[in-house]
Every structure is written in structure tokens, then in C-alpha cells.
Structure 1
Amino acid sequence: MCNLYNVTTTQEAMRQMFQGFEFSDKAGNLEPGSIYPDRLAPIIRHDGHALELARARWGMPSPPAVLKTARDPGVTNVRNTSSPHWRRWLGPAHRCLVPVTSFAEPLGAGKGNQWFAATDDMPMFFAGIEVRGWKSVRKVKDGETTDDLFAFLTTAPNARVGAIHPKAMPVILTKPSEWEAWLSAPFDLAGKLQRPLADDGLRLIDQPV
């Protein structure tokens, strides 16, 4: 599964991608670079009236049945959208777009990662879900915290990703029509976006971009 990605898209570039929409920026100053689980990362979500660029912590609440202690490290990737645990967060109010410029899949123990980026440097977003003001124990030393959380959907891999990781790949959206549908359409329509990116939509790279 994808547990490492990179984002270098500027805040201004993201604003330009959503021209025609009311758009606010509440993310502060974003530093480009790699994103790891449980770290803050930029997402684009609804604020009730418009779209907003905000920061959230990577890792949605885990299903209670899988937790062995009070600590919840969070779930970074979501595949089974028919699960009651995830269905409550599939409406437009809980959907988000996660900016990404490259992502990694592990090559195996001690072999590092294979990085993937968009062909022709087209803009990419992961199809994400988010929840705000969630109380949980993410780290024992911090005790209970209240956080905005997110994760993104996965699906069957295309041929390019499948050669490295045969089980799954992130759901990647590259077209404005897909971005709008994911943010606003009923899930019986938006859920159709949970499919692999075309094989020629990604290229292999040695380092994150």
C-alpha cells in the first residue's frame, strides 16, 4: 500500500486549478516534500460554502475491532467502501482531494521504494475522505488529541504499479471533471472513480518530484 508520497504543488497553483470556485486557503505556509503516515498534509475540502485548502493528519480512525489498545495509529488507505465503518464518511461533506506529485510503493525488504509520477506532469490528486475534530490517542505520550484526519481510497493496480505492488494502488484523479465529481456527486456516481489510472498515466522515476 502507499504509505509515502510527495507534494510540491504550490498553493497558488492549487488555487489556479479551481478557478471558478470560491476557494479559501487556511493551510498556512506549506513546505514541499514527502508525506508520511500521521503527518499533517494539505487537502482540499468543503467548508460548507466553498472549497478550502487546509491541513489534516494522515490516517482516518481505525475500525474498533482491529484495535488492541486505546492507541489508534490510523488507517492511511481505504479499499472496502461497502464497510459500515467507511460508509458514514463517503458523502460529499467528507470527501476531499489530496494533492500529490509523486508516490512510492515499496520494492521489498531493504530494497527501498519505487516512485511514480504523472506522465507529462499533469496535476494529480488522490481521492480522499476526511473527518474533522476526531478525538483519539494517536501517540501514547501525547494522550488524547483532537484532529482533522484524512485517508485516500485504493483500487486494483494498473499494469505499471502492479508490476511493483500487485495488490493495490491509490485512486488518482487527473481531470477537473473528476475532481468536481469526487467533491460533489452522489456516491453512486463518485464511487465509479474508484478505478485504476490508465497504464500510460504514470511513469517510473528514481526520486520523488
Structure 2
Amino acid sequence: MTRAYRLDAPSGVVAQAFGAQHGPDPWGGGDLRPGEFAPVIVRSAKTSQRVIRPMVWGYPAPNSMTPSGEVQWVTTVRNVLSPFWIGNLRHVELRCLVPATSILQSKDDGVITPAPFLFTMAGIWRDLTDMPVFAVVSIDDNKTGKAGVPLILAGPQQQIWLTADWKEASRLLEPRDSSSTTCA
């Protein structure tokens, strides 16, 4: 399960790498943690062009406010058949790309070696009443036997994720051999 990730590139570089417009997003790079704003790539409802939009990483879990008043964030989509997620997944306009340069897994797994390039993870998002939020979609990695690893999308897969109907996009969720996963 993803606990944090890094994006060591400013918005302009991310926009250029993934064919997006970055507008006023001030992202300069660094660690990203649940409950914090991060840049994600969505398709504009008006123009269908890719746009970088700052959103909070994690959906507030239902009835999950701690006694101290902190929100517990659901950051990863692990069960794509769950009623909690399926509505977002089936609506193409609610899918997004989450740019990154490295991923921090669970405490036992440590850090995946940072990539010398940018890559994107599949995500979903929605507007809550006061802020947009997103979660990273995960799959099973057959090579390592690990469940819940982020779904990394290569070039053509990114476009499928952002534009295809659910039947086609859901094929990207099939467990895979991690050696066959490439980054763009």
C-alpha cells in the first residue's frame, strides 16, 4: 500500500512530459503525503485537453474522524468492485494521472528506487464540497507476489485510462509481471 510518494519536478516539467497545461499550479517538487495537496493530471471538461490540477491526496473515509479531530484518508483503490469506488471508476471524467518520481511503500517495503524520469500512476478523483480529492489505483504484482502496488501507466496506457470506457480501461487493472511494466 502506498504511504507516500515523491514528485521531484516542478509543474512546468510535469506538464511538458505528459502533454498537459499547468496553469497557476505552484508545485516545485518534493514528498507527498495523505491529506496534502498534490498535482494530478485530469482532462478538461471543456476542451478535453490534459490539465494539471492541485488536489488533496485521499478520500475522507466514511465516519473516520479520529477523537483528536484528524481525518483518516483513504489513499488507495484496492477493490475496484467496491461500491465506494465503482462510480468514480466507471466515469471517464473522474479518472486522473498521478505523476511521480518514486514511491514509498509500507514501512517494511522501504523506498522503491527513484526513477531517473517521471512516471504516472492511475488515479481517480472527485470534487467534495470544499476541495477536490484523489486516490491512487492499485493492482497485484505477480512477479513479487505483492498486492496493492500502484498501477503505473506507460504512454498509450495513460490515454486509455483518461479516455476509454470502463470495459477497456479495466483491462489495465489485470495483475501483471512487474518486469513488463514500463514508465513513460
Task: Specify the TM-score bucket, using the shorter chain as the normaliser.
Answer: 0.7 to 0.9
**Which of 25, 30, 40 is residue 27 of structure 2 equivalent to?**
30
CA distance in 2, matches of 1:13, 1:169: 25
Instruction: Please give the secondary structure, in 1, of the residue aligned with 2:52.
Output: strand
Structure 1 pair 170–10 and aligned structure 2 pair: CA distance change class (3 A)? same
- Structure exhibiting the larger radius of gyration computed from Cα positions: 1
State the shift of 1:92 in Å.
Answer: 1.1
- Cross-structure match for 1:140: none
User: 1:171 and 2:151 equivalent?
Assistant: yes
User: What's the CA shift string for 1:127-166, capped at 9, x where partnerless?
Assistant: 000012x13xxxxxxxxxx111000111113435x4xxx3
CA distance in 1, matches of 2:8, 2:143: 26
Note if contact 2:95-2:123 (Cα within 8 Å) is conserved in structure 1.
yes
State the shift of 1:15 in Å.
Answer: 2.6
CA distance in 2, matches of 1:101, 1:93: 25
Percent of residue pairs bearing the same amino acid type: 26
- Cross-structure match for 1:115: 111
Aligned length: 176
CA distance in 1, matches of 2:180, 2:11: 24
Counterpart residue identity of residue 23, structure 2: K
State the shift of 1:71 in Å.
Answer: 6.5
CA distance in 1, matches of 2:107, 2:143: 15
CA distance in 2, matches of 1:68, 1:32: 29
Unaligned 5+ segments in structure 1 are: 136-145, 203-209
State the shift of 1:39 in Å.
Answer: 0.6
- Tell me the C-alpha RMSD between the 2 structures: 2.5
TM-score in terms of structure 1 length: 0.73
- Cross-structure match for 1:79: 78
Runs of 4+ deviating beyond 3 Å: 66-72, 195-198
- Cross-structure match for 1:205: none
Unaligned 5+ segments in structure 2 are: none
Counterpart residue identity of residue 10, structure 1: P
Instruction: Please give the secondary structure, in 1, of the residue aligned with 2:27.
Output: coil
State the shift of 1:26 in Å.
Answer: 3.3
CA distance in 1, matches of 2:36, 2:165: 29
- Cross-structure match for 1:128: 123
User: What's the CA shift string for 1:162-204, capped at 9, x where partnerless?
Assistant: 4xxx33211111x2101100001011111111245643368xx
Instruction: Please give the secondary structure, in 1, of the residue aligned with 2:59.
Output: coil
User: What's the CA shift string for 1:31-88, capped at 9, x where partnerless?
Assistant: 21111110100100022122210110011243x3x64779742210011111122111
